[in-house]
């Protein structure tokens, strides 16, 4: 039957339009194929290009026509095929991802996910297959590889990120415990070496934080390898060979991008991760914690009497948890785990019962080597649950290699079964883990309060790097460490808000809190779960002022590096009048100021060198004199 002319013309126009949208020649004589993906007019845009001459793939990111990431190599190599070159395009499949979920902790509890996804399928001449899956949201671009069964072990990725040579860069030297300090360079002048994949760059397209999501024992952790003099940062895996005996989907290579406020507020790495695997999360409760390690050391951990005194103080302050750190089960005069009756001989059940009667939950420290095998976990985890322990602080994993990631897979499932919250130390960084396993309340993976070499610049960089991707157990509040920390007392109070952690561990001694009643009273108010987060002012390495909301109240924290100043903070909390109660450094210690300001006004705070402040804001009404409860 003859096709009507009008129908044929319409079909031809549609096919030409589709070709224009998905294909763009790189040179007149070479017709490279290109595919574009974005979530909206003002959102970042990914462009994947297949070079017809070499069969290599690249990915570039822009925002409103400005460079975010320059064209960067994309590819993966297995023992059976090099899937980084000689590729030919097979087909494209697209969909929209829309999800709602509620977190137990983080920058905000209610999350709405809207992403566009495209899956581009490629093959080599020999028939080896790889799919490149790309997602785009309002605040990020991400991609991953999907390999069919029979692809064999992975030998590495050719994935890399090309940045303009002069792009400002904030990088942390890679360590297996992710505790490298952040320093500022340009993309090309950073020394040759390996860096954490939580790297922040500033280009004319805005700020971009590199990250990873949905990392499990099916793969290997990534770091960035860089050679000085270039703007290229290559993905290097922790393993030379990643074992795979079936279909494989790799972790997401994520780029959180936008202005600095967008990056800081982003939950993109959580949004990319699989949905929660905990059917009933009602037992998971974030909260503030009296941490006894910097307050009392191993000696306190070995003493039931000392721990009861800490519980008494937590109860007096209405802090919901007390954490017993190292020493409580290591060969003390009372008992040790080499004794076959160690569970019976432990004083921990007595402490848990004592704390429970006072409304305080107990969290206990355990070395990873004591949870390494299924048999050890079967000994420890049910026992802790039976005692009534609320959570475990597991330490010294110090690896992101595949075998250790498989251990994470096991411990996550088993702690959920035994209703134990987790604080990982000496660990990987979040990478979406808190969405999938919400009992993970926080992770270290940071040069935190224990370090004696931290700088004020490092402290003001963390809100824009490490803490963007998930809860961070920095352990603020160690007022007794005067001379061992680079900041002022008011800045130390502000860290309880600037740094988000589902278990916010206060590292001070009771005596140091009693000597600073304004800090103590503020800590009494601070929650560990937030309904909203906003960046009020910031520049990595110089200043960070964040506001976090709980109910109708906003908590503000500010930290600064450099000389004393009068800080000017835009009060972007909403319309109306606000009662502001601000804690700052005075000549003889902490002082508090009260004033009523309108939303949109500027809050002025006198800040000492390397100082900061904390504040509490609530809607003002006649007769209201304080936001404290």
- Alpha carbons 495 and 504: distance in angstroms, whole number: 10
Q: Based on the fold, state whether residues 380 and 261 are members of the same structural domain.
A: no
Q: Based on the fold, state whether residues 265 and 295 are members of the same structural domain.
A: no
The dihedral of CA 423, 196, 132, 250: what is its sign? negative
pLDDT of res. 5: 38
Q: Based on the fold, state whether residues 188 and 336 are members of the same structural domain.
A: no
Q: Based on the fold, state whether residues 368 and 401 are members of the same structural domain.
A: yes
179: CATH: 2.70.98.10
Mean pLDDT of 80-104: 98
Q: Based on the fold, state whether residues 329 and 184 are members of the same structural domain.
A: no
The 10s digit of each residue's pLDDT in 377-393 is 999 999 999 999 999 99
Q: Based on the fold, state whether residues 264 and 293 are members of the same structural domain.
A: no
The per-residue pLDDT of the chain, averaged, comes to: 93
pLDDT above 90: percentage of residues in the chain = 91
Mean pLDDT of 37-51: 97
Q: Based on the fold, state whether residues 303 and 429 are members of the same structural domain.
A: yes
Identify whether 573 is part of a domain: no
Mean pLDDT of 313-322: 98
Identify whether 9 is part of a domain: no
pLDDT of res. 8: 41
Q: Based on the fold, state whether residues 35 and 115 are members of the same structural domain.
A: yes
Token output for 71: 């064209």
Cβ neighbours of residue 403 closer than 8 Å, sequence gap 6 or more: 217
Q: Based on the fold, state whether residues 210 and 338 are members of the same structural domain.
A: no
Q: Considering 450, 532, 593, 606, which one is annotated as catalytic? A: 450
Identify whether 445 is part of a domain: yes
450 assigned to active site: yes
395 assigned to active site: yes
DSSP symbols for 222-237: EEEEE-TTS-EEEEEE
The separation between CA 549 and the C-alpha centre of its own chain, rounded to angstroms, equals: 19
pLDDT of res. 346: 87
Identify whether 242 is part of a domain: yes
Mean pLDDT of 89-111: 98
The 10s digit of each residue's pLDDT in 266-316 is 999 999 999 999 999 999 999 999 999 999 998 999 999 999 999 999 999
Q: Is the pLDDT of residue 510 over 70?
A: yes
Q: Considering 270, 271, 322, 395, which one is annotated as catalytic? A: 395
**Domain termination site, one of 510, 530, 550:** 530
pLDDT of res. 32: 84
pLDDT of res. 237: 98
Identify whether 117 is part of a domain: yes
Identify whether 434 is part of a domain: yes
Q: Read off φ and ψ for residue 471, nearest 5 degrees.
A: -55, 145
381: CATH: 3.20.20.70
pTM metric for this prediction:
0.93
Characterize the bridge pairing of strands 321-324 and 287-291. Answer: parallel
**Domain termination site, one of 483, 514, 530:** 530
Q: Is the pLDDT of residue 24 over 90?
A: no
User: How far is the CA of 178 from the CAs of 120, 214, 269, 448, in angstroms?
Assistant: 33, 18, 17, 11
The secondary structure element, H or E, covering residue 384 is helix 374-387
Domain of 164?
31-272
Q: Based on the fold, state whether residues 382 and 458 are members of the same structural domain.
A: yes
Confidence label for 331 from pLDDT (cuts 50, 70 and 90): very low
The 10s digit of each residue's pLDDT in 402-423 is 999 999 999 999 999 999 999 9
Q: Based on the fold, state whether residues 268 and 311 are members of the same structural domain.
A: no
- Alpha carbons 606 and 608: distance in angstroms, whole number: 7
Q: Which of 151, 504, 549 minimizes the C-alpha distance to 321?
A: 504
Identify whether 501 is part of a domain: yes
Mean pLDDT of 139-154: 98
What's the alpha-carbon Rg for the chain, to the nearest Å?
A: 26
Mean pLDDT of 503-528: 98
Q: Based on the fold, state whether residues 232 and 357 are members of the same structural domain.
A: no
Identify whether 342 is part of a domain: yes
**Domain termination site, one of 272, 301, 335:** 272
pLDDT above 70: percentage of residues in the chain = 93
Helix axes 304-317, 293-301, angle to 10 degrees: 150
Token output for 253: 């290579």
Token output for 618: 């609530």
Domains identified in the chain, total number: 2
């Amino acid at each position: 039957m003859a096709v009507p002319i009008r129908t044929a013309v319409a079909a031809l126009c549609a096919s030409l339009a589709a070709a224009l949208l998905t294909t763009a020649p790189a040179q007149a004589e070479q017709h490279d194929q290109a595919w574009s993906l974005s979530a909206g007019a003002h959102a970042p845009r990914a462009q994947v290009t297949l070079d017809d001459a070499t069969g290599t793939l690249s990915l570039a990111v822009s925002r409103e026509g400005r460079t975010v990431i320059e064209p960067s190599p994309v590819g993966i190599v297995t023992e059976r095929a090099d899937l980084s070159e000689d590729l030919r395009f097979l087909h494209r499949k697209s969909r929209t991802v829309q999800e709602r979920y509620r977190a137990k902790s983080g920058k905000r509890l209610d999350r709405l996910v809207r992403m566009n996804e495209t899956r581009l399928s490629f093959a080599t001449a020999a028939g080896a297959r790889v799919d490149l899956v790309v997602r785009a949201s309002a605040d990020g671009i991400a991609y991953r590889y999907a390999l069919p069964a029979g692809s064999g072990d992975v030998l590495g990725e050719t994935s890399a990120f090309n940045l303009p040579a002069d792009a400002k860069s904030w990088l942390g030297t890679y360590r297996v415990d992710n505790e490298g300090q952040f320093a500022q360079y340009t993309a090309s002048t950073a020394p040759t070496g390996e860096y954490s994949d939580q790297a922040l760059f500033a280009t004319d397209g805005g700020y971009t934080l590199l990250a990873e999501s949905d990392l499990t024992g099916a793969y290997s952790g990534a770091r960035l390898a860089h050679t000085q003099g270039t703007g290229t940062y290559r993905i290097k895996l922790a393993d030379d060979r990643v074992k795979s005996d079936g279909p494989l989907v790799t972790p997401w290579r994520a780029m959180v991008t936008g202005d600095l406020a967008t990056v800081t507020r982003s939950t993109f790495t959580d949004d990319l991760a699989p949905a929660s695997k905990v059917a009933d999360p009602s037992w998971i409760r974030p909260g503030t914690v009296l941490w006894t390690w910097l307050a009392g050391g191993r000696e306190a951990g070995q003493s039931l009497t000392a721990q009861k005194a800490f519980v008494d103080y937590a109860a007096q302050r209405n802090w919901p948890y007390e954490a017993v750190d190292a020493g409580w089960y290591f060969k003390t005069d009372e008992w040790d785990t080499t004794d076959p009756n160690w569970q019976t001989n432990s004083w921990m059940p007595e402490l848990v019962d004592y704390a429970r009667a006072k409304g305080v939950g107990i969290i206990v420290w355990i070395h990873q080597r004591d949870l390494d095998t299924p048999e050890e976990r079967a000994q420890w985890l049910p026992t802790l649950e039976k005692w009534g322990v609320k959570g475990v602080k597991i330490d010294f994993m110090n690896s992101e290699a595949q075998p250790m990631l498989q251990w994470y897979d096991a411990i996550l499932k088993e702690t959920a079964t035994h209703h134990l919250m987790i604080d990982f130390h000496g660990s990987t960084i979040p990478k979406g883990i808190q969405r999938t396993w919400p009992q993970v309340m926080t992770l270290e993976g940071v040069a935190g309060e224990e370090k004696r070499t931290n700088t004020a610049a490092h402290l003001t960089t963390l809100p824009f790097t490490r803490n963007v991707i998930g809860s961070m157990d920095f352990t603020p509040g160690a007022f007794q460490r005067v001379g061992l920390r680079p900041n002022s007392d008011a800045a130390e109070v502000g860290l309880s808000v600037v740094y988000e952690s589902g278990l916010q561990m206060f590292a001070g001694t009771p005596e140091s809190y009693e000597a600073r009643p304004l800090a103590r009273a503020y800590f009494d108010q601070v929650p560990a779960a937030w309904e909203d987060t906003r960046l009020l002012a910031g520049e990595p390495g110089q200043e960070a002022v964040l506001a976090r909301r709980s109910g109708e109240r906003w908590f503000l924290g500010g930290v600064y590096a450099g000389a004393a100043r009068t800080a000017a903070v835009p009060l972007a909390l909403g319309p109306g009048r606000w009662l502001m109660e601000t804690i700052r450094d005075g000549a003889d210690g902490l002082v508090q100021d009260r004033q009523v300001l309108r939303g949109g006004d500027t809050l002025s705070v006198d800040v000492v060198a390397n100082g900061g402040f904390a504040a509490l804001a609530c809607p003002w009404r006649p007769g209201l004199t304080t936001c404290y409860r």
